[in-house]
Amino acid sequence: MSKTEPLGGKILTRPFLFLSLLALIAAVLLLVRFVYGLGVVTNLNNGYPWGLWVALDIHVTAAIGCGGYVLAVVVYIMNKGEFHPLMRPALVGSTFAYTLASLAAFIDIGRWWNFYQIALPWNINLNSVMFEIAICMGLYTLILWIEMIPPILERFSLQKYMPAFKKSLFFIIPLGIVLPTMHQSGLGGLVVAAGDKIWPFWSTPWISLLFLVSAIIIGFSIVIFEGSMTAMGLKRPLELKEFKRLSGMLVWVLAFFLVVRFADLLYRGALGPGFQDITRSVSFLIETGLFVLPLLILIVPSFRASPRLLFLAAASCVLAGAMLRFNSLIIGYQPSAGYVYFPSLMEIMVSVGMLSVEIIAFTYIVKRFPILPKHDTAAKSEITVSPPEVPSGSAA
Amino acid sequence: MDIKRRDFLKAAMAGSAAAALPGAAEARPNLEPPPNAVGMLYDATLCIGCKACMVGCKEANDMPIENADASPIWDVAADTSGKTLNIIKLYRDGTAEQKDRETDGFSFVKRHCMHCVDPGCVSVCPTTAMRKDPETGVVTHHPEACIGCRYCVWACPYNIPKWDFEEAFGQIAKCEFCNHRLVEGQLPGCVESCPTGASLFGTREQMLAEAKKRLAQEPGSEYDYPRYTLEAEDTHVQEVPHYIDHVYGESQGGGTQVMVLSGVPFSKLDLPLIPERAFAATSETIQHTVYKGFVAPLALLGGLMFITRRNMKKEEETESAKDESGNG
């Protein structure tokens, strides 16, 4: 039998209604955007053609969607089945994050009615990093929805189709690892073609690797972050034992990131020229601090056992990855003279609305579909001992 | 557990080793100018800032007027934009007493597409909506294929392609060297309307030779400056100014087909001093190293499939063993 179950409970809670209102505001603003154009809703201009929607709603959201990617590696490749109970909630988070990132891309492109042109064989430009990202992200979003099939089958009592689905997994799961590896590095690779327009801190041929590794860092962290939020918001016990072990792996990834980051900065001699500008210096220091802080916390084994410190470290990692993206794409970007950019209130409200949709969707799904692991309520233990074997009914 | 970790590392290395080594494989060199590359030479010292070229450009390309500062009378653009493909800008310093002098002087500069020999916009466009003519080298834009991602706007080292943010159904606008006129044997709108020969049209080779000839003249001596083209036999005599000893566009970012001469440093004229290696070449080198023959992604996929399959099989065996012992 399945070891996961719908959480149940009321859907139309107060937070749900509030978030729905935010989503509704975003929907109205998007209507304005589609009728009157990008310039009416956003502060984008020809000096800063990419703004909040690109940095936050595409780049950061896609990175936040890496929980499923990272766990797939841990569970299926490193064969650590004990993390399987974390898989489904992470997949739900990833699926909505990637769906929203794809939607954000559609909203942000100026000629949305022409979007299919990117898939026409005679238009293919293999030199374009953007082409690779678009195709890989689109495919991976599809893969994520395919990986969501098991809870849907269980929800509607269609388990008889499960064996057929499980047969496809040996291909679906590896593809779901290769595609994010490709486009998460590609998202950083976008920066290379802009050359000197990017401030020295972020103008490196290694930016692809930095984006990929930071996406993996965010992937680990978002599992812990979302798990902590779910535990708090939905009043469930925390999977502390698993989080402790995940954060032990995260330490190595964080250390690797910082070694590559500073080896590159020193090799290029980028620190001297980099610190010539106060805004970018401050921004760089914040970014670096946010990467260093979780390393300092998580390197201490006893700190890894503290839900509070785990949450702080995870949140710091997510913010660090977000800063790297904002810095590489907006703050470290040098337009021609005379252009300034700060997102408009309407632009921000659209981003807020998109985030609200993700939370609404996640809450609804875990309440109505078998996503979260079954908990023995009688045990009331804060530390959950996960079942030793992988549940037979849950494939992903 | 250790064996599994080694498997994982092996599979991961197949992908990330390739992903991690920019420049390890053969680097893609800058592109070369096409055989019949057209060219333009803009000599800022000849420019009188009359903006006739802006009018000529708007006429030739049927572009609307623009009031960037809400002036009721003039067609005033602040920069090249969705409605303005060519613009005369002014550099001024201190008292702005003397033309073509850096301190207490001023200079005009004409900004539009440089028609790079190795264009970034063509390299980055995901739908090949930016194309470089294999014969003439003119960089054209094709809105019917464009999705409006604005990567060209973001990446162009000269900040030339512009998106029309005021339009709901906008498009990218950029100078196309008046390609529609070139095919009919006419001059680009800006060159045709330039009264001083500040904008001169020819082949790229001709323009480069003419620029070097001017740099070789003694400042203060007299020189026969041609108008329109070298063949037009319409010249006027001017005193040779103190040029900055460099043809802008000969080598910048792999060279451009529009080249500039000036009496003030080019960086003052919004013309960035970019390195000789085109950013597009660097970007494509990394991209094609990682994805050479698509070997790395396929190897990674194959390795991961092998491991996944084996792990899943083991898991099934453990489960069935448990079922048999009545433990499942």
Quick one: pLDDT band at residue A392, thresholds 50, 70, 90? very low
Average pLDDT for A145-167? 87
Identity (one letter) of the amino acid at A200?
P
Residue A166: both structure tokens together: 């499980």
Residues above pLDDT 70, as percent of chain A: 94
C-alpha span between A73 and B304 (Å, rounded): 9
The residue among A348, A341, A334 whose CA lies nearest residue A53 is A348
pLDDT of A375 > 80? The answer is no
Sheet holding B98-99, edge to edge: B87-92, B105-111, B98-99
- CA of residue A185 relative to chain centroid, distance: 13
User: pLDDT value at position B324?
Assistant: 59
Taking only residues 286 to 345 of chain A, the set having a beta carbon closer than 8 angstroms to any beta carbon of chain B reads 333, 335-338
Backbone angles phi, psi at A335, to 5 degrees: -80, 175
User: pLDDT value at position A357?
Assistant: 95
Q: Please provide the average confidence, as pLDDT, over all residues in chain A.
A: 90
User: pLDDT value at position B128?
Assistant: 95
pLDDT digit string, tens, across residues A254-273: 999 999 999 999 999 999 99
Is A34's CB within 8 Å of B168's CB? yes
The residue among B31, B170, B17 whose CA lies nearest residue A127 is B31
Q: Looking at beta carbons, which pairs linking B284-287 to residues 24 or more positions away fall under 8 Å?
A: B284/A127, B284/B28, B284/B123, B285/B22, B285/B23, B285/B25, B285/B27, B285/B28, B286/A189, B286/A192, B286/A205, B286/A208, B286/B22, B286/B23, B287/A126, B287/A127, B287/A129, B287/A132, B287/A189
Quick one: pLDDT band at residue A386, thresholds 50, 70, 90? very low
B92 in contact with chain A, both atoms CB, cutoff 8 A: no
User: pLDDT value at position B328?
Assistant: 36
Backbone angles phi, psi at B104, to 5 degrees: 50, 35
Residue A389: both structure tokens together: 């074997």
Quick one: pLDDT band at residue B21, thresholds 50, 70, 90? very low
pLDDT digit string, tens, across residues A276-298: 999 999 999 999 999 999 999 99
pLDDT digit string, tens, across residues B281-321: 889 888 888 888 888 999 999 999 999 888 888 877 776 77
C-alpha span between A332 and A276 (Å, rounded): 12
pLDDT of A394 > 70? The answer is no
C-alpha span between B305 and B294 (Å, rounded): 17
The dihedral built from the CA positions of residue A229, A232, A234 and A240, taken in this order, carries a sign that is positive
User: pLDDT value at position A7?
Assistant: 85
pLDDT digit string, tens, across residues A181-204: 999 999 999 999 999 999 999 999
Quick one: pLDDT band at residue B10, thresholds 50, 70, 90? low
User: pLDDT value at position B70?
Assistant: 67
* Length of chain A in terms of residues written: 396
Residue B59: both structure tokens together: 């006429």
The set of residues, in sequence order, having a beta carbon less than 8 Å from that of B41 and lying 6+ positions away, is B199, B200, B202, B207, B210, B211, B258, B259, B260, B261
User: pLDDT value at position A383?
Assistant: 43
The residue among B120, B108, B110 whose CA lies nearest residue B193 is B110
C-alpha span between B328 and B317 (Å, rounded): 12
pLDDT of A365 > 80? The answer is yes
Which of A38, A120, A181 is the closest to B165 by Cβ? A38
SS (H, E, C) A324-359: HHHHHHHHCECCCCCCCCCCCHHHHHHHHHHHHHHH
C-alpha span between B124 and B140 (Å, rounded): 14
Transcribe A178-243 into DSSP letters.
Answer: HHHHHHHHHHHHTTGGGGGGB-TTT--TTHHHHHHHHHHHHHHHHHHHHHHHHHHHTT---BHHHH
Is A392's CB within 8 Å of B159's CB? no
- Minimal Cα distance from B289: which residue of A? A127
Beta bridge partners of B43: B261
Residue A145: both structure tokens together: 């929805």
What's the first-to-final CA gap in chain B, in angstroms? 23
Is B279's CB within 8 Å of A38's CB? no
Residue A376: both structure tokens together: 């023995």
For residue B114, the chain A residues in CB contact (below 8 A) are: none
- Is residue A223 within 8 A of residue A244, CB to CB? The reply is no
User: pLDDT value at position A337?
Assistant: 81
B279 in contact with chain A, both atoms CB, cutoff 8 A: yes
Helices A307-326 and A240-268: crossing angle in degrees, nearest 10, is: 30
Task: State the greatest distance between any 2 C-alpha atoms of chain A, in Å, as a whole number.
Answer: 66
Average pLDDT for B218-235? 94
A352 in contact with chain B, both atoms CB, cutoff 8 A: no
C-alpha span between A160 and A246 (Å, rounded): 34
Residue B111: both structure tokens together: 């900004």
User: pLDDT value at position B9?
Assistant: 55
**Which residue do the tokens 């599809």 mark?**
A142
Of the listed ranges A156-160, A226-230, A337-341, B48-52, the least confidently predicted one is A156-160
- What's the whole-model pTM score? 0.90
DSSP B30: P
pLDDT digit string, tens, across residues B134-183: 999 999 999 999 999 999 999 999 999 999 998 999 999 999 999 999 99
Taking only residues 224 to 263 of chain B, the set having a beta carbon closer than 8 angstroms to any beta carbon of chain A reads 253
Helix, strand or coil for residue A373?
Answer: strand
For residue A253, the chain B residues in CB contact (below 8 A) are: none
Average pLDDT for A118-128? 92
The residue among B240, B253, B228, B227 whose CA lies nearest residue B158 is B253
Is A338's CB within 8 Å of B79's CB? yes
Interface test with A, best of B174, B287, B317 (most A CBs within 10 A): B287
Average pLDDT for A334-354? 94
For residue B5, the chain A residues in CB contact (below 8 A) are: 78
CA of A285 to nearest chain B CA: how many angstroms apart? 25
**Higher-confidence residue: A65 or A164?**
A65
CA of A363 to nearest chain B CA: how many angstroms apart? 30
Using alpha carbons only, how large is chain B's radius of gyration in Å? Answer: 27
Average pLDDT for B223-246? 94
Quick one: pLDDT band at residue B8, thresholds 50, 70, 90? low
Residues above pLDDT 70, as percent of chain B: 88
A30 in contact with chain B, both atoms CB, cutoff 8 A: no
Is B148's CB within 8 Å of A114's CB? yes
- CA of residue B146 relative to chain centroid, distance: 17
B299 in contact with chain A, both atoms CB, cutoff 8 A: no
User: pLDDT value at position B73?
Assistant: 63
- Is residue B44 within 8 A of residue B260, CB to CB? The reply is yes
Helix, strand or coil for residue B261?
Answer: strand
A390 in contact with chain B, both atoms CB, cutoff 8 A: yes
Taking only residues 139 to 158 of chain B, the set having a beta carbon closer than 8 angstroms to any beta carbon of chain A reads 143-151, 153-155, 157
- Is residue A94 within 8 A of residue A66, CB to CB? The reply is yes
C-alpha span between B287 and B281 (Å, rounded): 10
C-alpha span between B19 and A211 (Å, rounded): 12
Average pLDDT for A377-394? 42
ipTM of the predicted assembly exceeds 0.95: no
Helix, strand or coil for residue B247?
Answer: coil
User: pLDDT value at position A1?
Assistant: 37
